[in-house]
Chain A
């Protein structure tokens, strides 16, 4: 056994699988149509449930109790075996066996939340014990859809460090949002969406479409040597509420993998990352009249922000 693997095993933790977990996994798997999928979903769900226990034991907040999480129709039978860590993103649970030399990272994930890592779980034949073996962070977008040697997995200690660091950086980013008012008062350029409704466009914004209910405006932005098109579709629901759909496209056919688009989301920041080939990102938002917000495009080390008042 290699050194890396024995180090991994030294920190791996075996946890009990209760009868209620087996029952819940069974109920969820039974909603799938084919025997193979049912079998896979049963074991995947056991992994998800036991990983959830572990994360909660260490004081992380998760959200597996939402009933829709266990409703296959609601999820349109997506096979994402994710745990949402509140405020941090999703941790994808993957089954593993010790005989395996390598792991293939799943590509079947469909979620609105950012994927922050993969957790590898081994389920004992008895189905009464599951061992959390190690993890991989999603810092390299190119690693998606690729095969990794089992010896490259990080230990459970590394997982604790990684998630705790993520928590701290989220707290710092929340402070950034608190500074938003400050930023708005520092003489930055602000786009007033109400002007667009009155046909006034400034600062590089161009009207694109207009009908009885919507106004669409576009602007070209340069970032990391590429040209992006930021499009906002605005519709006024009533005097108080404005619905804004943010759409980002690239002049090349596809958005670059790893590119991020962020918007403030109440007391947090919502970020969507391009994880696979896609030709656009679309984020629906709702604002009260007069509310301040921004849209940030980030590619590698460069970022660009546009500021708005609804």
Chain B
């Protein structure tokens, strides 16, 4: 699609997105406008170097700017849609790069080695103590709360086994149902109505006891 045609289509879509009285029509126009920008290579990654990593962030922010301000800020008499959108994107990209440089400078003043929490890429949140405590309680079920709660006439289908398979081993309901010999719908129903309640209850009480809440 050449530039002239792109501008023509964008103009039509802007008009529709900003003036249609029908919510669905307005949304469809915005969808088509964004789709055009994202599929026609208009806002492409400008470099392959160190700044390329900011492309997605800038693109994401510029989409929100367009969706929020297009109808108020864009003036057809001052610029074609294409050049206005490209300028917005370039400015956003510069902002992203500046912000990242500021952050890097700030971090280089402090020895990052000794302050890992300040590193711009946070270390992953891994399994916490409270998660492990809960998992231990499920595995042990010291008071038999979970094992005593089973589907009627089927002691094997009890909350203890379900919790171990579903939470600790993270198996899918389909598999669990096959193993226990009960339909997956019945299992999930028992899980949602009974087991989840027991586990959440223990977790709440444990937190209250330890003053975490």
Contacts and interface: CB of A to CB of B under 8 A. Distances in A.
Interface of A: 11, 13-20, 23, 26-27, 30-34, 36-37, 53, 56-59, 72-73, 76-77, 107-108, 110, 128, 145, 156-157, 160-161, 164-165, 167-168, 276-280, 282
29 contacts: A11-B31, A15-B60, A16-B55, A18-B56, A19-B57, A20-B57, A23-B122, A30-B125, A30-B127, A31-B125, A31-B128, A33-B135, A33-B168, A34-B169, A56-B64, A57-B63, A58-B67, A59-B23, A72-B131, A73-B131, A73-B203, A77-B167, A107-B188, A108-B188, A156-B31, A160-B24, A160-B27, A277-B189, A278-B193
Residue among B56, B63, B169 facing the most chain A CB atoms (10 A cut-off): B56
Interface in B3-34: 23-24, 27-28, 30-31, 34
A18 B126 contact: no
Contacts of A26: 124
Give the 6 A-B CB pairs with smallest separation, nearest first.
Answer: A277-B185, A16-B56, A276-B185, A164-B24, A278-B189, A37-B170
B56 A77 contact: no
Given A16-B55, A58-B31, A31 B126 contact: yes
B205 interface: no
A164 B57 CA distance: 28
Nearest to B196: A76
Main secondary structure of the interface of B (DSSP, over half): helix
Given A59-B23, A77-B166, A280-B193, 15 more contacts: A13-B31, A14-B39, A19-B56, A31-B125, A33-B168, A34-B170, A58-B27, A72-B131, A73-B203, A76-B167, A108-B172, A108-B173, A110-B196, A277-B185, A282-B193
Nearest to B32: A11
Contacts of B53: 19
A52 to B, nearest CB: 11
B184 interface: yes
A19 B127 CA distance: 22
B121 interface: yes
Interface of B: 23-24, 27-28, 30-31, 34-35, 38-39, 53, 55-57, 59-60, 63-64, 67, 121-122, 124-128, 130-131, 134-135, 166-170, 172-174, 183-186, 188-189, 191-193, 196, 199-200, 203
Contact of B34 (A36, A57, A73, A168): A57
A26 to B, nearest CB: 6
A27 B63 contact: no
Contacts of A160: 24, 27-28, 31
Contacts of B28: 157, 160
Residue among A13, A30, A57 facing the most chain B CB atoms (10 A cut-off): A57
Residue among A14, A15, A36, A165 facing the most chain B CB atoms (10 A cut-off): A15
A276 B174 CA distance: 14
A18 B130 CA distance: 30
Contacts of B191: 110
Contacts of B196: 76, 110
A218 B147 CA distance: 31
Contact of B188 (A167, A276, A279): A276
